[in-house]
Amino acid sequence: MASSVRRRLAGFAVLGAVGLVLAACSVNVPDPASPKPSPSESTLATPTITPGHDAAAVAAKDLPLAAGGTLAPGDPVTVALRLEEVPGWTVVHSALQGEVRYQKADGCTLVARVSVNQEPLVVAGDDAASTKELFRYLDPGIAVENLKPVLLRWGQDSDKPQHSAEFLALDSSAASGGKAAVVFARLFSVPASSVYVSIACPDDGALAKARAEAAAQLVVVPPG
């Protein structure tokens, strides 16, 4: 289990996110069985308008895994993260090939990223299955039955009722022989974009605190 978690964390360490609000960096996740496509340049997301799609209505509701089909194609889900406002946390780097990395004084690290162009991993119309494919891609030996649903804040408007977006998470205790770690991820099947957040700490107590601090500062941002 410990070696599996280390492999997962190594995979997530190269995943990234833009600092305060993660723009859509075009970083492909190719199908291992298919020829690798030409790398895409990192660009700012261009807003798209889908006829008949009400982005505000989607943002005003919870987004469980089963509701992924309410999103529109073309415009990725992003993330806002202001962990540097919490005592003890500092930014190691931001917007380095699309990645943001934080370090905490107690030895915890957090890495986050938004990726687009993930069609090779998408199970059409099924965010849960697509997310499991993403985890399998990062670690072919993963037992997807160990993934657990978690809720992260959905939407940035602090003056409105708070809503949640459902992710899948993989936890590992330091008792298994490595670092205590958790990875949150969701592959949004319609826009074919994904959000990943990984936290690793020296022990379970530090992870629990870091996880709570990250959850308080992290917002999953609806498109549009």
Distance, in Å, from the CA atom of 58 to the CA atom of 130, rounded to the nearest integer, reads 20
CA angle centred on 193, ends 190 and 197, rounded to 5°: 135
Compute the half-sphere exposure of residue 92: CA atoms within 13 Å on the CB side of its CA: 16
Report pLDDT for 188: 97
Question: What residues pair up with 93 in beta bridges, in sequence order?
Answer: 101
Which CATH number applies to 2-25+54-221? Answer: 3.40.1000
Q: Give the predicted TM-score (pTM) of the model.
A: 0.76
| pLDDT beneath 70, residues of the chain | 1-53, 96-98
Confirm if 28 and 117 have CB atoms less than 8 A apart. yes
* Centroid of chain to Cα 48: 22
Which pLDDT score is estimated for 215? Answer: 94
Map out the domains of the chain as residue ranges. 2-25+54-221
